[in-house]
Structure 1
Amino acid sequence: MLAVVLSLAAAAAFAGSAMFIDSVSGRVGPLQLSRWQMGLAFLMTAAIVLVTGGWRTLDAQMVLWLTASSASGIMIGSLTYIATIQFTGPRISALLFTTASPFALALGFGFRGETVSPTQAAGVGLIVAGIALAVMGPKQDEGARVPKPLWIGISLGLLTSVAQALGSLLARPAMLAGADPVAAMVVRSGTGALFFIALLAIPAFRPAALPSPVALRQIGLSAVAGMVVGMSFLMAALAVGDVGIVTTLSSTTPILILPMVWAVYHRMPRPLAWVGAALAVVGTALISATT
């Protein structure tokens, strides 16, 4: 049950982070956004760990696992996700991202022997279906894009899901060994920050200008919500729950963001989105009942 609570808490934090990111959308490029998010997250988590002494829970092997997790989930996953959006638009890319759950289940079973009961499998299926319904909608994003080969976008989207699932799988040994969740994020965010900073060596990846102070504040808030709080909850969930279940529950961000959008922007979600939310709630209940 603790894994369920932590995973849903992570999803809620990711939803809050997305709300802050939405406020700077179009003004800050995705690579620049990732660079600032990771850098600020590293500074904040490092400060917390220095105060709490959480760094003492890490050893060399844990750091290697967490670095590999960052390489897959943050380095590869972030770049391919950005590329997926460019090829397919945000709506289709969000649909493709729902495949992270079945990939995580397969990887957890193949590499760690983690299995789910028929009831849990049904819950996972309902959650994935609910997320898909929640993100489906009018093709508002495709009209403004230059037509690009859809098969490339789909391939990149599936690669993103595999990379994210593998990132969670690679972090699990360190979390099972007792790594502090915030200390784990120091390693993951620090590795990610170095990667995105290194990309500045390539002229095409250099930003035209720095973010404005207002945009930087919103990026900082998104880093606190998503990278510091959300990812720390996710790491804690991986310490007590199977990779597939944790990945599925923490992917319910599109569901949890619905009431936030309603409250902040006064935009009533579509009926299909509420159906998706209902399916996700039932799926979560099924998983909770057997966890």
Structure 2
Amino acid sequence: MPAPEAFAVTAACCSALSSMFLSELKGRVPLLQLARWQMLATFVMTGSVSLAIGGWHTIGPREFWLLAGSSFAGISIASTTYFATIYSVGPRITALLFSLTSPFALALGYLVLGETISHWQALGVAMVLAGIMLAIGMPRRFLKRGDLAPAMPVVTPSTVPVSTAPGPPLTGRLGPGILLGVTTAFGQAIGTLLARPAMAAGVEPFSAMALRSGLAVILFIALTATPFGRGKREAVQVGTVGLAVLSAFVGTSLGMSCLMAALRTGNVGIISTLSSMTPVIILPMVWLRSGQRPTTAAWAGALLAIAGTALISLGRV
């Protein structure tokens, strides 16, 4: 496999592995505390690289405000709902719902920037939606227990077991989880839309990520002054913090580095497609961790969503 394509697949693997690490933290760290740890770790890592290569000077006033808006939508909101989606429905369904980012970005580009949508891209949107519906839009009797349970089950009063009886698909915890996942994809799409002009103006990628994560850290810290942001106090354990930092390193620092390396010399459409393979890559990880074999529909839905993303991405080239 050529180097750019290998880097893109590695980025997808990093995203899948990072979400598996995050699922282990359910019941061990509150949501906003996890967001603070993640963004602080990301800021330190990417900020250090930016300082080392001198990238901060590439950010002008216009680029700063574009990236600030991108930070609010794509990190402060989308990252928080992303973590909440993993806590709610697990990493496999979260990865599937994140595939909606491409259709949302395509629609926003059409509505806001006046970009055109080809017939192939429209077909790709339909395939992504069909793939998600195939994998999770079915009665619960077709879902295996590991699909909704976290990688490390935590018994709490709010934990709802997955019923094996026939019933509507959007009950219990699946409905709110889907809503959180859709919010994540939409927020990420808005963040990408706002960041696109800044990156086109020549902003260095690590500096852009450091600015976005740094602004998010400030917001998350400011939220601690409110009753909503404080939440209940939890004893900080070294292993818990380490797992959160490891997830940030694998998913953001290492994953983003591989993606940037892939985009440097690779075809944008092909790289975007390969880096979106997370829904398939994560299936054997969930299988290995939970001991539950994913259903045929889960594999088919993930592959269909990736094929749809490929049509959307390649249609832009």
TM-score, normalised on structure 2? 0.72
Equivalent residue number for residue 115 of structure 2: 114
Contact 2:129–2:305 at 8 Å: present in 1 too? yes
1:180 deviates by 1.4
**Contact 1:255/1:280, CA 8 A, preserved across alignment:** no
SS in 2 for 1:201: coil
CA distance in 1, matches of 2:246, 2:160: 31
Output the amino acid matched with 1:122. Answer: L
User: Which residue identity is paired with 2:160?
Assistant: G
CA contact (8 A) 1:4 1:288 kept: no
| Shift, 1:268, TM fit | 2.8
Give the distance between the partners of 2:310 and 2:93, measured in 1 at CA.
27
Q: Which residue in the other structure is 1:228 paired with?
A: 253
Pairing 1:22–2:23 present:
yes
Unaligned runs of 5+ in 1: none
Which stretch of structure 1 is more off in the superposition, 135-144 or 204-213?
135-144
- 1:14-64: CA deviations, max 9, x gaps? 212112212222211211111100001101111111111122322222121
Are the aligned partners of 1:133 and 1:272 in contact in 2 as well (CA < 8 Å)?
A: yes
Counterpart of 2:226?
A: 202
What secondary structure does 2:224 align onto? helix
Query: Where does residue 38 of structure 2 map in the other structure?
Result: 37
Higher mean Cα deviation, 20-29 or 179-188? 20-29
Residue 304 of structure 2 corresponds to: 279
Q: 1:263 to 1:148 in 2, by over 3 A?
A: closer
Q: 1:236 to 1:186 in 2, by over 3 A?
A: farther
State the secondary structure of the residue aligned to 1:114: coil
In structure 1, how many angstroms separate the alpha carbons of the residues matched to 2:10 and 2:312?
Answer: 15
Partner of 2:167: none
In structure 2, C-alpha distance between the alignment counterparts of 1:251 and 1:231, rounded to whole Å: 13
State the identity as a percent: 45
Aligned length: 285
**8 A Cα contact 1:135 1:273, kept in partner:** yes
Residue-by-residue CA offset, 1:126-173 (whole Å, 9 max, x unaligned): 24433444456357568359x889998776665444322111100101
Higher helix share: 1
Determine if the alignment matches structure 1 residue 259 to structure 2 residue 258. Answer: no
The SS at the match of 1:178 is coil
Deviation at 1:214, TM superposition (A): 1.0
The match for 1:130 is 131
Q: Can you list the C-alpha shifts for 1:152-211, whole angstroms capped at 9, x where unaligned? A: 877666544432211110010111111111111001110111111111112443251243
Q: Does the 8 A contact of 1:6 with 1:236 survive in 2?
A: yes
1:251-279 residue CA offsets vs partner (Å, 9 max, x unmatched): 55332211333455554322112212332
Range with greater deviation from structure 2 (196-205 or 59-68):
196-205
User: Relative to structure 1, is the Cα distance of residues 257 and 47 closer, same or farther in structure 2, using a 3 angstrom cutoff?
Assistant: same
The equivalent of 1:183 in structure 2 is 207
- Local SS of the residue matching 1:13: helix
RMSD: 4.0
Q: Normalising by structure 1, report the TM-score.
A: 0.77
Please state whether the residue corresponding to 2:27 is helix, strand or coil.
coil
Structure 2 residue 198 is matched with structure 1 residue 174: yes
8 A contact 1:37–1:227 mirrored in 2: no
Whole-angstrom distance in 2 between the partners of 1:113 and 1:77: 24
Question: Which amino acid counterpart does residue 219 of structure 1 have in structure 2?
Answer: A
**Equivalent in the alignment of 1:90:** 89
- The residue type equivalent to 1:181 in the other structure is P
Give the structure 2 partner of residue 165 of structure 1: 189
Query: Which amino acid in the other structure matches residue 118 of structure 1?
Result: H
Q: Tell me whether 10-19 or 185-194 shows the greater mean CA deviation.
A: 10-19
Q: CA deviation at 1:12?
A: 3.1
